[in-house]
Chains A and B, each alone.
Chain A
């Protein structure tokens, strides 16, 4: 490749990624050599960087498809819309980070910030990659950054335990992912997704058992990122151990990236076939459906008895992963839209819930569910915010969560063949989830407070809360804003 071809690529399309990369590098340099007076502003710089990346991204709205470096980097509407979620999610998490002025447990705030940025960069690469290699590099960038972030609370025992479990589980998952990829490479002879897909559309994709094995092992490996069965066990331990913004990152951005990669890989690689031939994907749908069912049931049932709020959200996030797998099972024209919308709604409500927990855990020094007792009397603002997030998570109409579930529901019923079993399990899981979501409502509204004094929300804390509430309600009442944006 000579310089001319190198320059002929439309590098401008990578502006969001470059922004994040450059900001991360500059911030790490500032952190190394800068004065303390400047270091204070590192998180704010990061927010500005993400904002800039978001602006660059929005300028690309409606841009035609672009491919750089022989399809290793592709820009399409899929990459665009999912990067939007990744950026918004990380932005909200940075607001969370900013809301805490002084952190006794994490003294290296600089590292925290640029690790978050590099993880974000990893997820964005995953969204745009058209090649197994870049996909994997993005995935590992995300994973490695996350491992360190979980371990940031050095002196915290739970953080150490969580980080250890995370890295070991993550290592195994990576091994599986690579193993699966190597099989796919082995039988298709290429790492480029388009080419693999072409190879798979021949008899190879449907008759070759090795392809099936590759499929299964790859899926199991990637299940780690979306924390669905069978790779979900790390979730509660890690969420509990990690600092709350990191937990929020793992449960929102990292999970969204996991879905991005799953859709990219499985829907493009395995779902192409010759007319009339059953594709490998459609023959393996049962497998994905079983994972979805197990995730929904296990996540929601175990969440019932959790008293630690972060563990509770962790289990509920396993359940939500199950819900989001449903549209992937019932593949239709609406699948992408439904997954996208649910992830967007999920970002707002989950980060919001984490934010409330974050505020309370700072003032009460506890993560037990009792921090919510009598919250409505101590801080009506927090109680009402949490109510909105919980109602959204439970899928009550008027909130974003409802529209998300509704889309999935309708998508599954109108799919061909209709996924009645999945819909039924989803309904059962939803009813179970009412129990623990409403229990928190009870704690907030109908219980005497166990902690004394009123709690106020300062300005920095209000920013992410307001953003999340607005997102949850606006998407719930006017979902077409987002849906039009997507299409």
Chain B
């Protein structure tokens, strides 16, 4: 299995080589066998006696992550879809994409996607699943942006990437929590530990995380907005990723985790409610589209909603119908996308307002579309597979016996009506799609190209899909026991068996519902012109695109605002923020820990003889404050010098003449150097600040000064050790033989340090001498 998963990925390495011959042979031909072989490989597994297969490879043993593949009915369904539709899409793309396009890139992206998607559906390990999951998003991003010169594709690509990767992150959070609770990374193991998960207080969180992941990927309301914009991708991509496979990854995820999550009230309510809303909203929105692919995009959204809703119902019949519909949807929607691509390719337009009457020009395409459209609409005919699953959907919506009803009776009552409501619009847009394009008057003048039938190669793929539609419609039990039943079993947890009939009798309620849909749908479709106004009015301001744009815009403006306000580039502000940070944090901490307790017992009391000290101290304080108010650099530095000299005087008073001397020299030198430097600087500009800013600045600086003072005093109050000075006072005479303690320390006790310090200074002096000499030599030259 691992070969099947990684074969496309390995193939991407060879694509550049194939691409060299692309002038002679289209690159696609070389690649066609790959998905075909994968398909054939997995087809072998189909059979009545199918049982799950598991494979395991070591990956990150320390984190208990290994590449586990697990092929059960559900995976098998998806694997076949991915490889089967993949083959057809590849074949189709050979005719769709001209050799002059960047084929190499296209196929590389496509194959990365194929590998990742196969990985998603086959992984049993949640982290491996997540890895592949994100890669599907990235390859989808690249494919949407394939036509890089289009403005819209840029927007669409970023949008789809942001929304799906956001969902991916949410899924990631979900699986991390799951692993945390269960201690395993295997999904099958998790299913075995279902009770532990459900009883956990984190369960609602897990549920929401996983559902978010699924909803974003499967374009469920309100995250559906990325899908219509993803239609900028080339049509084969839309047919493949954005209708048949990638968007179903969310469905797959919900199905995969159904054995754990289903049966919970919250799961039922969220999934079926949003599923139904998506169904209705998607089909309603599809009616107002004018772009063929736009119609199909919203139609896909609505169909995905329907499948999601069925998974939400969680009953045996509903799950069976969901699986059946996944298969059916892939066949008819795939063929319709391809037809839309053909129309675009042969007429040069996808705008349904310009199209019409193409039946005469493109009879084969039109016939194929006819089957696809009526299957999509769920028209009650025995050779349309869409009808079967739709009818099962109606049936399931009617039989939620006591299951959903316990929670919200009203909701349960409403579901069948909503289902019919959504289906009516499905019928309307299906008819609109077909009759708008192929019937009516031909408007040749408005088309860029003269329409004609597509080359036979392009028609093969939709033909095969339509054949699938009819075959499944005629012999539904062909796929039932071998295939769908196994898949449904994997979701439901126990065997699901059901026979599929076309005819259940005239009073069979789902049939009546279908007939209502057809009748009302036909009426609405015929009178579509009259309703056109309503379609354009209703969701104008309600569009979730607005919300997305709003969020993105707001984030960016917020960023701009913060940048302008906060990252001014001004050093003063930088320092300000740091001071505020320290002030606030230390202030709060000091307050909380009661650090303001100041102990005065160690301090001496004021005496008359202290007057000189106090006077000097006051002078220093006044000088320091004075510095702030001078607006001349030179005077400021001189006034600041007063502080230094004051300190020297204090040293003198406390009988430390050598310290006083040092202080005097240092102070003099610094002031002199400052004076020399400042002399060359321009005058200080007087900046007029707003009073409010000045006030804040003063508060911060005063606050910080106060804090530092308090810290200093408080530090003085908490002495944990004997002062070190006592030791030196006692030992300076006996050890060093001198009474001047400072001198003894410098030349004796710390003699080696002093020596090194002198050495360092000497080296520095030498370096300065060297630099001056170099300069002189240069000038001399």
- Kindly provide the distance from the CB of B98 to the nearest chain A CB, expressed in whole angstroms: 18
B142 contacts across to A, CB distance below 8 A: 445
Q: Tell me which of A38-46, A77-85, A213-221 binds B.
A: A213-221
A301 contacts across to B, CB distance below 8 A: 555, 558-559, 562
Residue of A nearest to B156 (CB): A446
B148 contacts across to A, CB distance below 8 A: 374, 376-377, 445-448
The interface bits of chain A over 413-445 (1 if a CB of B lies within 8 angstroms of the residue's CB, else 0) are 110000000010001001110110011011001
- Kindly provide the distance from the CB of A133 to the nearest chain B CB, expressed in whole angstroms: 12
- Kindly provide the distance from the CB of B138 to the nearest chain A CB, expressed in whole angstroms: 7
Residues 552-572 of B contacting A (Cβ, < 8 Å): 552, 555-556, 558-560, 562-563, 566-567, 569, 571
Q: A189-B720, A210-B718 are in contact. Are A414 and B586 (CB under 8 A)?
A: no
B180 contacts across to A, CB distance below 8 A: 410, 413-414
What is the CA–CA distance of A287 and B592 in the complex, to the nearest angstrom? 13
Residue of A nearest to B131 (CB): A397
Could you tell me if B594 and A209 are in contact, using CB atoms closer than 8 angstroms? yes
- Kindly provide the distance from the CB of A405 to the nearest chain B CB, expressed in whole angstroms: 9
Could you tell me if B138 and A230 are in contact, using CB atoms closer than 8 angstroms? no
Could you tell me if A172 and B578 are in contact, using CB atoms closer than 8 angstroms? yes
The interface bits of chain A over 444-479 (1 if a CB of B lies within 8 angstroms of the residue's CB, else 0) are 011110000000000000000000000000000111
What is the CA–CA distance of A427 and B574 in the complex, to the nearest angstrom? 28
Could you tell me if B157 and A446 are in contact, using CB atoms closer than 8 angstroms? yes
Instruction: Decide if B503 is an interface residue (CB 8 Å cutoff).
Output: no
Could you tell me if B555 and A435 are in contact, using CB atoms closer than 8 angstroms? yes
The interface bits of chain B over 159-196 (1 if a CB of A lies within 8 angstroms of the residue's CB, else 0) are 00110011001001100110110000000000000000
Could you tell me if A165 and B574 are in contact, using CB atoms closer than 8 angstroms? yes
Q: A168-B571, A216-B586 are in contact. Are A210 and B578 (CB under 8 A)?
A: no
Residue of B nearest to A449 (CB): B148
What total of A-B pairs shows CB separation below 8 Å? Answer: 167
Instruction: Decide if A186 is an interface residue (CB 8 Å cutoff).
Output: yes
Partner of B169, one of A210, A391, A430: A430
Could you tell me if A480 and B60 are in contact, using CB atoms closer than 8 angstroms? yes
Could you tell me if B595 and A304 are in contact, using CB atoms closer than 8 angstroms? no
- Kindly provide the distance from the CB of A172 to the nearest chain B CB, expressed in whole angstroms: 6
What is the CA–CA distance of A397 and B67 in the complex, to the nearest angstrom? 14
What is the CA–CA distance of A267 and B574 in the complex, to the nearest angstrom? 28
Could you tell me if B559 and A212 are in contact, using CB atoms closer than 8 angstroms? no
What is the CA–CA distance of A376 and B135 in the complex, to the nearest angstrom? 19
Instruction: Decide if A169 is an interface residue (CB 8 Å cutoff).
Output: yes
Q: A431-B166, A434-B161 are in contact. Are A409 and B176 (CB under 8 A)?
A: yes
- Kindly provide the distance from the CB of B483 to the nearest chain A CB, expressed in whole angstroms: 31
Could you tell me if B575 and A172 are in contact, using CB atoms closer than 8 angstroms? yes
What is the CA–CA distance of A406 and B176 in the complex, to the nearest angstrom? 9
What is the CA–CA distance of A441 and B154 in the complex, to the nearest angstrom? 10
Could you tell me if A302 and B562 are in contact, using CB atoms closer than 8 angstroms? yes
What is the CA–CA distance of A236 and B563 in the complex, to the nearest angstrom? 11
Could you tell me if B595 and A210 are in contact, using CB atoms closer than 8 angstroms? yes
Could you tell me if B173 and A427 are in contact, using CB atoms closer than 8 angstroms? yes
Instruction: Decide if B489 is an interface residue (CB 8 Å cutoff).
Output: no
What is the CA–CA distance of A230 and B577 in the complex, to the nearest angstrom? 7
Q: A233-B567, A427-B169, A446-B154 are in contact. Are A212 and B162 (CB under 8 A)?
A: no
Residue of A nearest to B708 (CB): A179
Instruction: Decide if A278 is an interface residue (CB 8 Å cutoff).
Output: no
Residue of A nearest to B718 (CB): A210
Instruction: Decide if B734 is an interface residue (CB 8 Å cutoff).
Output: no
B63 contacts across to A, CB distance below 8 A: 479-480
Instruction: Decide if A358 is an interface residue (CB 8 Å cutoff).
Output: no
Could you tell me if A189 and B556 are in contact, using CB atoms closer than 8 angstroms? no
- Kindly provide the distance from the CB of A159 to the nearest chain B CB, expressed in whole angstroms: 15
Residues 126-153 of B contacting A (Cβ, < 8 Å): 127, 130-131, 134-135, 138, 141-142, 145, 148-149, 153
Instruction: Decide if B663 is an interface residue (CB 8 Å cutoff).
Output: no
B162 contacts across to A, CB distance below 8 A: 431, 434-435, 438
B595 contacts across to A, CB distance below 8 A: 209-210, 212-213
Instruction: Decide if B714 is an interface residue (CB 8 Å cutoff).
Output: yes
Instruction: Decide if A229 is an interface residue (CB 8 Å cutoff).
Output: yes
A483 contacts across to B, CB distance below 8 A: 62
Could you tell me if A213 and B590 are in contact, using CB atoms closer than 8 angstroms? yes
B575 contacts across to A, CB distance below 8 A: 169, 172
A403 contacts across to B, CB distance below 8 A: 60
Could you tell me if B585 and A169 are in contact, using CB atoms closer than 8 angstroms? no
Instruction: Decide if B669 is an interface residue (CB 8 Å cutoff).
Output: no
Instruction: Decide if A51 is an interface residue (CB 8 Å cutoff).
Output: no
- Kindly provide the distance from the CB of B201 to the nearest chain A CB, expressed in whole angstroms: 12
The interface bits of chain A over 179-196 (1 if a CB of B lies within 8 angstroms of the residue's CB, else 0) are 000010011010000000
Instruction: Decide if B158 is an interface residue (CB 8 Å cutoff).
Output: yes
Residue of B nearest to A377 (CB): B148
Partner of A398, one of B131, B590, B721: B131
Could you tell me if A302 and B567 are in contact, using CB atoms closer than 8 angstroms? yes
A340 contacts across to B, CB distance below 8 A: none
What is the CA–CA distance of A430 and B153 in the complex, to the nearest angstrom? 24
B560 contacts across to A, CB distance below 8 A: 305
Residues 506-550 of B contacting A (Cβ, < 8 Å): none
Count of B interface residues, CB-CB < 8 Å? 65
The interface bits of chain A over 230-254 (1 if a CB of B lies within 8 angstroms of the residue's CB, else 0) are 1101101100000000000000000
A231 contacts across to B, CB distance below 8 A: 578
Partner of B714, one of A189, A209, A447: A209
Instruction: Decide if B43 is an interface residue (CB 8 Å cutoff).
Output: no
What is the CA–CA distance of A432 and B594 in the complex, to the nearest angstrom? 40
What is the CA–CA distance of A479 and B162 in the complex, to the nearest angstrom? 27
A287 contacts across to B, CB distance below 8 A: 585, 589
- Kindly provide the distance from the CB of B15 to the nearest chain A CB, expressed in whole angstroms: 13
- Kindly provide the distance from the CB of A161 to the nearest chain B CB, expressed in whole angstroms: 8
Could you tell me if A209 and B61 are in contact, using CB atoms closer than 8 angstroms? no
Could you tell me if A442 and B145 are in contact, using CB atoms closer than 8 angstroms? yes
Partner of A445, one of B145, B177, B567: B145
Could you tell me if A304 and B555 are in contact, using CB atoms closer than 8 angstroms? yes
Could you tell me if A186 and B715 are in contact, using CB atoms closer than 8 angstroms? yes
Q: A165-B574, A189-B721, A409-B176 are in contact. Are A216 and B165 (CB under 8 A)?
A: no
Residues 370-408 of A contacting B (Cβ, < 8 Å): 374, 376-377, 391, 396-398, 402-403, 406
Instruction: Decide if B593 is an interface residue (CB 8 Å cutoff).
Output: yes
A14 contacts across to B, CB distance below 8 A: none
- Kindly provide the distance from the CB of A157 to the nearest chain B CB, expressed in whole angstroms: 13
- Kindly provide the distance from the CB of A77 to the nearest chain B CB, expressed in whole angstroms: 17
What is the CA–CA distance of A445 and B138 in the complex, to the nearest angstrom? 12
Partner of A391, one of B138, B552, B559: B138
Residues 303-323 of B contacting A (Cβ, < 8 Å): none
Residue of A nearest to B574 (CB): A233
The interface bits of chain B over 696-717 (1 if a CB of A lies within 8 angstroms of the residue's CB, else 0) are 0000000000000001001100
Q: B575, B577, B578: which has the most chain A beta carbons within 10 Å?
A: B578
What is the CA–CA distance of A478 and B569 in the complex, to the nearest angstrom? 42
What is the CA–CA distance of A230 and B177 in the complex, to the nearest angstrom? 32
Instruction: Decide if A108 is an interface residue (CB 8 Å cutoff).
Output: no
A263 contacts across to B, CB distance below 8 A: none
B158 contacts across to A, CB distance below 8 A: 438-439, 442
Residue of B nearest to A305 (CB): B559
What is the CA–CA distance of A369 and B775 in the complex, to the nearest angstrom? 42
B157 contacts across to A, CB distance below 8 A: 442, 446
What is the CA–CA distance of A306 and B60 in the complex, to the nearest angstrom? 37
Instruction: Decide if B581 is an interface residue (CB 8 Å cutoff).
Output: yes
Instruction: Decide if B582 is an interface residue (CB 8 Å cutoff).
Output: yes
What is the CA–CA distance of A446 and B162 in the complex, to the nearest angstrom? 15
Partner of B593, one of A209, A217, A233, A439: A209
Please provide the 9 A-B residue pairs with the shortest distance between their CB atoms, ordered closest to farther.
A209-B595, A230-B581, A397-B131, A446-B145, A304-B559, A233-B574, A446-B148, A305-B559, A209-B593
Beyond contacts A216-B582, A406-B127, A479-B62: 12 other A-B pairs, Cβ-Cβ < 8 A, are: A164-B571, A209-B590, A217-B586, A230-B577, A230-B582, A233-B573, A304-B555, A376-B105, A398-B135, A434-B162, A439-B158, A480-B63
Some 11 contacts from A to B, beta carbons below 8 A apart, are: A209-B594, A213-B589, A430-B169, A434-B162, A434-B166, A435-B552, A445-B148, A446-B145, A478-B59, A480-B61, A484-B62
